Amino acid sequence: MKIGLAQINPLIGDFYGNVELTARMAEEAKQRGCSLVIFPELSLIGYPPRDLLDKPSFVDSSMKVLPYLERISEKIGIVFGLITRNELPSGKPYRNTAIFMNKGKIILKAHKRLLPFYDVFDEERYFEPGIETATFSFEGFHFGLTICEDIWNREGILPRRFYPVDPVEDLKKHRISAAINIAASPYFVGKMEQVMVPLLSRVANEIEAPVIYVNQVGGNDELIFQGHSMVVTPKGEIVCRGASFEEDLIVFDLKEIKGDLRIDYSLRIDQLIDALVLGIRDYVRKCGFPGVVIGLSGGIDSAVTASLAVIALGAERVWGIAMPGPYSSPESLEDAEQLSMRLGIRFSVVPIVEMYKATCDGLSEIFKGMAPDVTEENIQARLRGLVLMAISNKFGLLLLSTGNKSELAVGYCTLYGDMNGGLAVIGDVPKSLVYQIAQRINSHHDWIPKRIIEKPPSAELRPNQKDQDTLPPYDILDSILELYVGENLSFEDIVGRGFDKATTEQVIRMVVKNEYKRRQAPPVLKVTSKAFGLGRRMPIAHGYKEV
């Protein structure tokens, strides 16, 4: 029996477009000899639909496409995900459901039993959990049907067992040929290698049968989905594997226990670059922007952001703007221009010196007798933000914010200035990792001038300014941030790891102090296990003192 694993890139709420994707993949699977094709979680809806589920018309419209699925299933058996109504008189109104359909009829409905409530997930807000773990027989084989989190309730995978029930334990009671797990599991660096493969191997070993894992692919707002669907045997062997960060159909022979094996990554940095590229491309495409505009400072962050945008969209859809100010070095403008030439993008220069003088003159009476300070520095950053947003408005382009995670964490960024934008491309990428991305891009394209990579980072908002005048060295800063933000360790625990007490205290104070800034940041592409935004919800006003 041949089974197609169809990882598609749905658009949330585009029900008929998603049906077209389903039909195309189903037809290809049929032509390749499959009798069953499996699609990801909520494949007809797109994941996550969030508060669109509060609109009754949204759910009603999603169910109108079922007749099209019935026609598809007349040629091939299909497993797909959608929303169904809760048939019970109490509880949440909807269920996250997997359906097995064949010969124009619904054979089985499996409702998701474990609803994640942590990090970026809030499925308990919308869905009523299922009661039973579903199984079905097809062409002489017996399958268990689960949805994403249903197989995650294992010690060592989650911080603790979050749920009182375990669908995997139920599967052990059945002599199944394979477990199907349809998923929309967001990406972060190393997730597949460190979490998904060990999890799937463990489940396959427990149920003594292969696990067929079909994951959504694509970018939806902050979240990026890798795809990388696979089949894992009880021995932990990956016998079938899909592509990463692109739509794919792979075929698995359940009788022979073998299937298509796409090439996997040898370097994790390549995986990260592909994730960011997909995040940019899908955000721009799904939101309907014709292109992007980026402020080019001559620094590493804007250079990497522009390079990723060119890979994602093509040079013709990227516009770089240099905005030299009173403290900008001639080298920075030269570097920005050189970068643009190498990338092949449109490049413009809009000086802000006269704007800055006019602004300071306009405020001179109010600021009379007061020495220049960070206020004047931020005026420069905000004038640059004004220029970029004006170009964005006038030409309908998406402004890409270029700040990295290290800066966002400690507030080394200007609200309504360099934080302006519709998408923060590297807002979840620590500064030390930004340099690695630059080096890797240059190994393929040689786009980023050497001087940009080698010179000390500077905001150039005052004479001879350097980032390290204000911040600890980035390797130390990033290590502390990973422990404090990523792993939620306390001040004492971090110092216990060997970090300087004063430096650790400084970093933690900066992170806490700048929560209000991050609340107003653009959406950040999530590529680590703990990103700012939906996955980290801290109060702005509170009295808890850690240091």
- Of 201, 204, 193, 216, whose CA–CA distance to 40 is shortest? 216
Q: Which of 121, 117, 166 is nearest to 144 (CA)?
A: 166
Consecutive H or E run containing 85: strand 77-85
Please pick, among 34, 112, 405, 431, the residue that the annotation labels catalytic: 112
Catalytic, 112? Answer: yes
Q: How many other C-beta atoms are found inside a 10 Å radius of the C-beta of residue 68?
A: 16
Confirm whether 413 is a catalytic residue.
no
Q: β-pairing, 248-253 with 2-7?
A: antiparallel
Which one of 34, 148, 240, 413 is the catalytic residue?
A: 148
- Rounded CA-CA distance 296/251 in Å is 45
Give the phi and the psi of residue 145 in degrees, each rounded to 5. -120, 115
Q: How far apart, in whole angstroms, are the C-alpha atoms of residue 447 and residue 343? A: 6
d(Cα 40, Cα 20) in Å, to the nearest integer?
Answer: 15
**Are 187 and 219 in contact, with CB atoms under 8 Å apart?**
no
Which H or E run contains 503? helix 501-513
Asked if 425 contacts 451 with a C-beta cutoff of 8 angstroms, the reply is no
The encoded tokens of residue 264 equal: 């996997």
Determine phi and psi for 318, rounding to 5 degrees: -125, 130
Q: Which one of 34, 41, 222, 407 is the catalytic residue?
A: 41
Residues 6+ apart with CB under 8 A from 361: none
**SS3 (DSSP) at 37:** strand
Sequence-separated contacts (24+) of 55-60 with Cβ below 8 Å? 58/13, 59/83, 59/85, 59/94
- Alpha-carbon distance of 134 to 111, in angstroms, equals 8
Contact 112, 129 (CB under 8 A): yes
81 contacts 39 by C-beta, under 8 angstroms: yes
| CA angle at 415 for the pair 410 and 416, rounded to the nearest 5° | 160
Q: What are phi and psi of 6, to 5 degrees?
A: -105, 95
Residue positions annotated with a catalytic role:
41, 112, 148
